[in-house]
Structure 1
Amino acid sequence: MYGPEFARVYDHVYTLRGKDYAGETADLVKLIRSRAPGADSLLDVGCGTGGHLVHLAGLFGEVEGLELSPDMLAVATERLPDTVLHQGDMRAFDTGRRYDAVISLFGTIGHAYTEQELRAVFHGFARHLRPGGVVVTEPWWFVEDFIDGYISADVIEPDGLTVARVSHTRRDGDSSRMEVHYLVSDAERGTRHFSESYRHRLYTREQYEEAQRDAGFATEYVPGLAQGRGLFVAVRDA
């Protein structure tokens, strides 16, 4: 679960570390509209602080978000006061409607910790799609691509803050475990430390594809996008 301290620096951290929300949104829209040219409604599952929804709101008639963390959702609500945002778990959710497209980005799907949960997520996506609708999913790292012991370090200076971030990611059975430490300094409050720990299940590409087929999707994998993890694009049988 993403906590309140991280939620407030989340967008600064990832934008200044090179995440291109506008560019990723353009890729998403191209993939969706190439399969469903008339797509005009979209649900972002694991929407976080709304970084993609801010851009998607101007490109679709209706956009909504789903997020488990109340702290992340609070930031998204401040940014998108006129957008419907739901608090819920991707493994079991019901927004009460269907959409032309469902997206789940930034490795959120890796928080499905068993193959049964993974299938449940894609079945949930299918229930929320109109016939012929499109799902775009950014996987967590495939087992075969995961780097055990990976260390990352950055110092960024957004809006009067200095943020130092150091992370270490290791293999933990069938999952990865990422430990991230932050030092955040500003003139008023001085320096404070907090840490976050994330677990993601490591799946093979074939396991992702099988889970999507089980939910009734025809799927393909588009490599190279989403900072190297690629994207799955799945179409629900019309």
Structure 2
Amino acid sequence: MYGADLTEIHDLIHESRGKDYGAEARELTRRVLRLRPNASSLLDVACGTGAHLRHFAGFFDRVAGIELSEPMVHAARRALPDVPVHVGDMRAFDLDARFDVVTCMFGSIGYATTEAELHAVLASFARHLTAKGVVAVDPWWFPETYLDGHVSADVTTAAGRTVARVSHSTREGTACRMDVHYVVADARGGARHFTETHRISLFTREAYETAFRAAGLAVEYIPGPHSGRGLFLGVAP
């Protein structure tokens, strides 16, 4: 789970790597509105610091977020004081509310550790949909598209602070283990180093589609978006 150290630099490092939260939110909204033209409410699950949510707030009348990491919840609440951001686990949550759209971005659904948990996640999403609502999931990599042993490195400087990120990812059974090292330096505090380890499931496309259908959602997979991971869209009856 993302800690306070990473929360502080999360958006900076990923935006420096070329991630455009605004463009992703606009494109996803365009696709969703084709399926549900009158959609006016959205729930972003595993919303992190609210980087996508702040853009969704400009496209929908009512938005909310839910996130397991409390440091990220606090960051999202600071950034979006008028948006409800809840602490919760995507595998089992109940907000006593329904939305026209439920999103799960940035491969976060891969933190479900088994196919049974994947089914629980999609069932939770479906419970929070209005009739003909849409679930949009940016998946993690499939087993055949995952690059075992992948190394990534980036350095960025902004507002007097330099951040370096180096990651190594390796396959562990039906998941990948990603070890990430960060060095953060500024004039006042000097340099500090911390690490994070993430285990992210490599579900097959068929496993995702089965979980969507088990939740009662008609599912479509769109290859290409989100750095090649693609996009799943599920529509409720």
Instruction: Please name the residue that 1:58 is paired with.
Output: 58
The answer on 1:169 being equivalent to 2:158 is no
CA distance in 1, matches of 2:117, 2:147: 24
Query: Is residue 27 from structure 1 mapped to residue 6 from structure 2 by the alignment?
Result: no
Structure 1: tracts of 5 or more residues without a match? none
Q: Name the SS for the 2:72 alignment partner.
A: helix
Q: For residue 94 of structure 1, what is the amino acid of its counterpart?
A: D
1:228 Cα deviation (Å)?
1.4
**C-alpha distance in 1, partners of 2:174/2:229?**
18
Partner of 1:108: 108
SS of the residue corresponding to residue 144 of structure 1 reads coil
Aligned length: 237
Determine the C-alpha separation between the residues in 2 that align with 1:155 and 1:179: 17
Shift of 1:172: 0.7
- Determine the structure 1 residue equivalent to 2:186: 186
State the secondary structure of the residue aligned to 1:92.
Answer: coil
After superposing on structure 2, the runs of 4+ consecutive aligned residues of structure 1 that deviate more than 4 Å are none
SS of residue in 2 equivalent to 1:54: helix
What is residue 225 of structure 1 aligned with on the other side? 225
SS at match of 2:225: coil
| 1:43 corresponds to 2:53 | no
Spell out the pairing of 1:12-161 with structure 2 (5 A cutoff).
12-161=12-161
After TM superposition, the score normalised by the length of structure 2 is: 0.99
Cα-Cα RMSD: 0.6
Gaps of 5+ in 2: none
CA separation in 2, counterparts of 1:15 and 1:164? 13
Return the offset for 1:220: 0.5
SS of residue matched to 1:143: coil
Q: Which amino acid aligns with 2:81?
A: P
For the residue of structure 2 that corresponds to 1:157, the secondary structure is strand
Cα drift, residue 50 of structure 1: 0.4
CA distance in 1 between partners of 2:79 and 2:129 (Å): 26
Q: What does the per-residue CA deviation read over 1:123-164, in whole Å, with 9 as the maximum and x for residues that have no partner? A: 111100011000000110001101100000011112111111
